[in-house]
Amino acid sequence: MDSFLVNSPHSTPKVGFGYGIIHSKKVYIYVQEDPCPYQIVITGPKSTGSGQYEYIVITNWTKFPLVAMTRDLAQFNANYRNKLIQRFRNEGYIHEFLS
Instruction: Say if residue 64 is in the same domain as residue 98.
Output: yes
How many domains, the chain? 2
- Confidence at residue 74, expressed as pLDDT on a 0 to 100 scale: 96
Q: Which residues form the domain of 27?
A: 1-34
- Mean pLDDT score, 6-21: 69
Query: What is the pTM for the complete model shown?
Result: 0.60
Written as one letter, the residue type at 92 is: G
For the segment 32-85, what is each residue's pLDDT rounded down to a tens digit?
Answer: 666 567 889 899 999 988 999 999 999 877 777 888 999 999 999 999 999 999
Same domain, 82 and 55: yes
More confident residue, 4 or 83: 83
Give the pLDDT confidence score for residue 21 in this predicted structure: 72
